[in-house]
Amino acid sequence: MTIPENDVIKFLANIESGTVRLEPQHEPQSVYAGNVSYKASNGWEIVIFDDANEWDYIDFIRTSDGREIDFDELELMPQVNNYEPSDEVAWSCYGMPGYCRFRCTNCGKEIKFPDDKIFLCLKCKKEEPK
């Protein structure tokens, strides 16, 4: 059984508003280009394709009751297919800092080159407990 477009749009709006929070299954910036899976606070799951650290498209969604929808089905939904979060939402909700960018996961400051996939700026690295 699939998920109606209105339910998908409501889910995305709830993510943007903070009503639903996402927990990435791994650090999104460490993927750089590929799928990033998230568990949502409402029990849903969503997979976003991250292209060079930029939110690109929804690849898959599964509801808490087991309904699923994949990229091919989502592409047929006009509102979902045209959905793109703002840069701020992509960062604050999905942890994707933008095209070819990296940001400190602690303070959000842009960083040039992550050190061993540790996404902290120099200031936050110094403050991090050993």
* SS3 state of residue 3: coil
pLDDT in tens, 12-62: 999 999 999 999 999 999 998 999 999 999 999 999 999 999 999 999 999
Cα of 34 vs its chain's centroid, Å: 11
- How far apart are alpha carbons 110 and 40 in whole angstroms? 26
What does residue 95 show for φ and ψ, rounded to 5 degrees? 70, 25
Is the pLDDT score of 117 beyond 80?
no
The pLDDT value recorded for residue 1 is 66
Q: Which residue has the higher pLDDT, 2 or 38?
A: 38
Is the pLDDT score of 130 beyond 90?
no
The pLDDT value recorded for residue 61 is 98
Q: The whole model's pTM is what?
A: 0.91
The pLDDT value recorded for residue 127 is 79
The percentage of residues in the chain with a pLDDT greater than 70, rounded to a whole number, is: 97
Domain segments of the chain as ranges: 5-98, 100-130
- How far apart are alpha carbons 8 and 6 in whole angstroms? 5
